[in-house]
Amino acid sequence: MQDLSIPQPATVADEETGYRLAEQIGFKLRIANQKHLEIFAREMPEVTPTQFAVLAKLAEVGELSQNHLGREVGMDAATTKGVVERLRAKGFVNLRPSETDQRRVMISLSDEGARFARDAIVIARRISRLTAANLTPRELARLNSLLDKL
């Protein structure tokens, strides 16, 4: 008897690589990040996650140089400058030249920025809880520990 079925094209995943996108860490991290960003946008539409990171760091440690602030929140110099400018336009941060190096810009929270940051940190805790809602406390602690290793 002759096989009359239509041959299916081979995929790379079917061959030697065995590569499945949905099983890759980068893919899983991106999907988890998308979920988190959706929750963040819904819960705190006034600022972006990057802007919030700057406000939260300034609330935590106080005034920082723009360069040091960028390093603390994991941003390059150009991104930090743009984020700081947008926060300044919202009235959330103050900029001033350093007293010791006029090329250095010092960033601090304005009074309005400090009030916003205080309220936003409460919301950020809720965002984190919503993002991790499907995890047990033990699983969340393990995930955070593993992410720290990356």
Residue stretches of the chain with pLDDT short of 70: 1-5, 7-16
Return the pLDDT at 103: 85
Q: Is residue 20 part of a domain?
A: no
The predicted pLDDT at position 93 comes to 98
C-beta neighbour count of 66 within 10 angstroms:
18
Q: What CATH number is attached to the domain comprising 123?
A: 1.10.10.10
pLDDT score at 9: 61
Please report whether residue 85 resides in a domain: yes
Q: Residue 98: inside a domain, yes or no?
A: yes
The residue segments making up the domain with residue 43 are 25-149
Question: Residues near 67 by Cβ (< 8 Å), separated by ≥ 6?
Answer: 77, 80, 104
Q: Is residue 34 part of a domain?
A: yes
Question: What does the pLDDT read at residue 18?
Answer: 83
Q: Would residue 96 count as lying in a domain?
A: yes
Buried b (16+ CB within 10 A) or exposed e, 16-29: eeeeeeeeeeeeee
> Is residue 82 one of the residues assigned to a domain?
yes
Question: Structural domain tally of the chain?
Answer: 1
Q: Is residue 6 part of a domain?
A: no
Structure tokens at 68: 């040091």
pLDDT of 125 reads: 97
Are residues 56 and 120 in contact, defined by beta-carbon separation less than 8 angstroms? yes
Q: Do residues 57 and 109 lie in contact, with contact meaning Cβ atoms separated by under 8 Å? A: no
In a domain? residue 116: yes
Strand spans (E) along the chain? 64-65, 93-97, 105-109
What is the model's pLDDT at position 88?
98
